[in-house]
Amino acid sequence: MTIRFEVYGVQKAVAELRKYDRSMYDTIIKDLKNVATPLAAKVGAAFPDTPFRRVSNWHTTNERKGKAKFPPYVGSKARSKVKPAVLTSTRGNKNGLLRLQQMDGGAQIYDSAGSKADTKAGMRFVSNLDKPFSTKSAKGKTRSRIMFPETKKNMGMVQESIAQSIEKLNKVVQDHIQRAA
């Protein structure tokens, strides 16, 4: 799932900068992540303490259980592990610059489970995850319970973060050009 806020040329400029001035590149990447950190915290805050309304059989320790070897779901980890990532590769996604990613395995499963549930137990699991939400999972379709809806809800913050980053990038490049002249 992708929310599009189109910015052209920045990803390519950052990728080129990586080749010529590594310290400036590192500064810009760090700045892009810093600007997006409040958004990541806001999206992460939407993850619940427990994945189900009632008592859960989903373990909360690193003891992986069953054939599926599910990672544990821990609400505090789910909330703190949403991180901004800067996309600098010009392959594949030509216009991507910034994304939010969930770094906790249990929270990833909670957020996206449902597209390939084909057993009775799997479908019941997905159904229980969907109970607090108005939308339901459809087999074969990618879904997001938290990451996509929360990012979409905070789209103004996304646009503001990217605009701030582009403004800082322009200033850094202009300063660099003036010093070289």
pLDDT digits 0-9 by tens, 131-148: 766 666 666 566 788 888
The residue type of 127 is S
Kindly state the percentage of the chain with pLDDT values over 90: 13
The residue among 96, 98, 130, 124 whose CA lies nearest residue 111 is 130
More confident residue, 9 or 35: 35
Cβ contacts of residue 79 below 8 Å, gap of 6+? 44, 45, 47
pTM score: 0.74
The residues spanned by each domain of the chain are: 10-180
pLDDT at 110: 84
pLDDT at 103: 94
The CA-based diameter of the chain, rounded to the nearest angstrom, is: 69
Token pair, residue 129, equals 């995850």
Whole-number Å distance between alpha carbons of 50 and 118: 24
Please write the tens of the pLDDT for every residue from 95-112: 567 888 999 988 888 888
Element (H, E) at 122: helix 120-130
